[in-house]
Structure 1
Amino acid sequence: MEKTIDIGQYVAVAVKWLTDNLRPFFDFIKVTGNTGIESLEWVFVQTPFYIMIALFTFIAWKQAGKSIALFTVLGFALIYLMGFWEETMQTLALILASTFIALVFAVPLGIWAAKSPTANRVIRPLLDLMQTMPAFVYLIPAVLFFSIGKLPGAFATIIFAMPPAVRLTTLGIEQVPKDVLEAAHSLGATSKQILFKVELPLAMKTILTGINQTILLSLSMVVIAGMIAAGGLGEKVLEGINNLDIGLGFESGLSVVILAIILDRITQAFGNKGLSK
């Protein structure tokens, strides 16, 4: 069937215009982003594995209990013995950097959407687009803007993983009891004081749930990011697929699962337990 409306050509023109006219800006972002991710990766990789395992085990024990701490020890030990420790630390660095950047944008957007019905009407369709668009599509502008490497992988991950944090921040703010807000207003609190001392603390559990979902969605992008040389476990999974190496694919995929479970349980525990102390 012949096209009658060619939306894609307008998107392509817009992306080309951005690439041609904002090249210095994208180069600056690329250098800055790669430096940050690679620095974090260097710290994780150069730190002895037993120190990293002990650190994560301690956090898991303090926040999630003995069973998760035991799983953390055994899971990370298995990853190390399978020979995927360095790739796991590379993936962890990419996930944490992507999650941090996503939250820098997501939390303010979520607050804005909760405070402004007009902003909410604009932001919600954009979040729907970001969540439902096939993740592979994000790789095209990411590579055009930043070439291949870690930063375009982080760029695609941020776009895909940010919506839950925005939505749950908005939900958390909207669920703050009205009588609490009225009491704060009656005591003469300013809008800024109400936001930082009333709304955000009461909404924090919901916001932490959004952070948890952002981390898990970031991990789901690991293999896709591996397609553009982002490194880590994603490249190993992709290598297993390309070579039909069942053993390599299973072991690297299992490493992703172990890392996902550890991060999921720890971040869940921060929301369920950490705030109640």
Structure 2
Amino acid sequence: MTEEEMDWLTRFPHMQDDALLGMKRSIDDSFRAFTAAYGDPIDNAFQPLQQFLTAAEHFMTRTPWPIIMLLILAVAWAASRNWKIVVGCCVTLAAIGYLDMWQDTMRTVSMIFVCTFLSIVIGLPIGILMAKSDRVRRLVDPVLDVMQTMPSFVYLIPVVMLLGIGRVPGLIAVVIYAIPPMIRLTNLGIRLVDKDILEAADAFGSSGWQRLVKVQLPLALPTIMAGVNQTIMMALAMVVVAAMIGVQGLGQPVLKAIANQYFTLGIFNGLAIVGIAVIFDRVSQAYGKRLQKHQEVVHG
């Protein structure tokens, strides 16, 4: 081997490092320039979302606690028709109030409500498109794979650079993290609808829209509800991470406990998150099972 070849081999790793460093700097500079140029218009575009989140939080935190508790218990009963679940919700909420975590819990519940609502509004149409088109499914599946495997902290970087610190950036990061199950299970539920039923609907002269609204979505609803359940669980899992960029709720006391070694503060607020998660999980699962039984009775 000649001296020139040896010299090239020894310089190659450094040449690669220089090229990689240049590429990283170019991407970072481009994103900073985009943020400087379009950050304010993007921030203004999200103002309605800020108002929606603020309204939900004010309702949950400023309404007297007995009314909020009765409202939650009524929703739990309407969804589950199970007194054990309702009593469990009542005991959990009473314990949260007794331990002086009511306000933070209501902020977290309002955040989860808005995140779930947005995930349904965005994820349901995307899931329907995936079920209708294999090409769309092939395009969206890799994106969902990345969203589900990307570490949750990474979502905060571009969102904070664009929108700064606050509740809306945290909300967007939570929605990005939590929406994949909603999309996947909507797609799965529609694809699992019995072909014979679809053929019967076509034989009766149903249009594509009628078949979707009156046949496919009702039959896929138990699976879609499973997607809603998983979305809620993932949103709750993101609560503490989102607190790092200003999202108020149960996550901030947990971070304070970590920083200052307040054992009881961290444990109590962590248990409150678990309690809220159990309430959402049991109620949504019970509602999904009721839908499943209803479908079996109708089509059995």
Which TM-score applies when normalising by structure 1? 0.94
2:163 paired residue number: 146
CA distance in 1, matches of 2:37, 2:209: 38
Provide the aligned length of Structure 1 versus Structure 2: 277
SS across alignment from 1:227? helix
Paired position in structure 2 for 1:60: 76
Q: Structure 2: which amino acid aligns with 1:88?
A: T
The alpha-carbon deviation at position 195 of structure 1 amounts to: 0.9
**Which residue of structure 2 aligns with residue 75 of structure 1?**
92
Q: What amino acid does structure 1 have at the position aligned with 2:158?
A: P
Tell me by how many angstroms 1:275 deviates: 6.3
Contact 1:237/1:252 (8 A) holds in 2: yes
Q: Is 1:272 aligned to 2:280, yes or no? A: no
- Out of 107, 122, 137, the position equivalent to 1:105 is 122
Q: Given the alignment of the two structures, is residue 36 of structure 1 paired with residue 61 of structure 2, yes or no?
A: no
Is it true that 1:164 corresponds to 2:181 in the alignment?
A: yes
Distance in 2, Cα, partners of 1:10 & 1:177: 51
Q: 2:255 aligns with which of 226, 232, 238?
A: 238
Contact 2:257–2:266 (CA<8 Å) still a contact in 1? yes
Q: Deviation of residue 63 (structure 1)? A: 3.0
Structure 2: where are the runs of 5+ without partners?
A: 1-12, 295-300
Q: Aligned-residue CA RMSD in angstroms? A: 1.8
Aligned amino acid, residue 174 of structure 2: T
1:123-163 CA-partner distances (Å, limit 9, x unpaired):
00000000100000011111112111111111110000000
Indicate the larger mover: 228-237 or 13-22: 13-22
Deviation at 1:38, TM superposition (A): 1.0
2:278 alignment partner, one of 261, 273, 276: 261
Q: Which runs of 5 or more structure 1 residues have no equivalent in the other structure?
A: none
Whole-Å Cα distance in 2 between the matches of residues 194 and 240 of structure 1? 53
1:85 aligns with 2:85: no
**Cα drift, residue 274 of structure 1:** 4.7
**Matched residue of 2:245: which SS?**
coil
2:66 corresponds in structure 1 to 50
Q: Distance in 1 between matches of 2:158 and 2:61?
A: 30
**The residue matched to 1:176 in structure 2 has which SS?**
coil
Q: Secondary structure at the match of 1:22?
A: helix
Change in 2 beyond 3 A, CA 1:23/1:184 = same
Classify 1:271/1:109 alpha carbon distance in 2 versus 1 (closer, same or farther; 3 Å): same
Counterparts in 2 of 1:220 and 1:10: CA distance versus 1, 3 Å: farther
For structure 1, which segment, 62-71 or 77-86, has the greater mean C-alpha deviation from structure 2 after superposition? Answer: 62-71
Match of residue 26 from structure 1: 42
In terms of Rg, which structure is larger? 2
State the alpha-carbon separation in 2 of the partners of residues 106 and 42 from structure 1. 26
Q: Which moved more, 1:46-55 or 1:115-124?
A: 46-55
| 1:183-202 superposed matches below 5 A | 183-202=200-219
Alpha-carbon distance between aligned partners in 2 of 1:173 and 1:274, rounded to the nearest angstrom: 15
Conserved 8 A contact 1:240-1:246: yes
Of residues 122, 133, 144, the one that matches 1:116 is 133
How far does residue 15 in structure 1 lie from its aligned partner after superposition?
3.5
User: More deviation in 98-107 or 247-256?
Assistant: 98-107
Contact residue 221 and residue 291 of structure 2 kept, 8 A: no
- TM-superposition CA deviations, 1:100-140 (whole Å, max 9, x none): 11111111111111111111111000000001000000111
Alignment equivalent of 1:220, drawn from 237, 259, 278: 237
Q: Tell me which residue corresponds to 2:269.
A: 252
Judge conservation of contact 2:192–2:220 (CA < 8 Å) in 1: yes
8 Å CA contact 1:63–1:274 kept in 2: the answer is: no
Q: State how far apart, in whole Å, the 1-side matches of 2:69 and 2:252 are.
A: 23
Letter in 1 for 2:146: L
How many Å apart are 1:58 and its aligned residue? 2.4
Alignment-mate amino acid for residue 157 of structure 1: V
Q: Give the superposition deviation at 1:190.
A: 1.0
Matched residue, 2:4: none
Deviation at 1:14, TM superposition (A): 5.4
Could you say if the C-alpha distance between residues 20 and 161 of structure 1 is closer, same or farther in structure 2, counting changes exceeding 3 Å?
same
After TM superposition, give the deviation of residue 61 of structure 1 in Å.
2.9
Would the aligned equivalents of 1:30 and 1:146 in 2 still touch at CA under 8 Å? no
Alignment partners' CA distance in 1, 2:20 and 2:70: 58
Report percent identity of matched pairs.
38
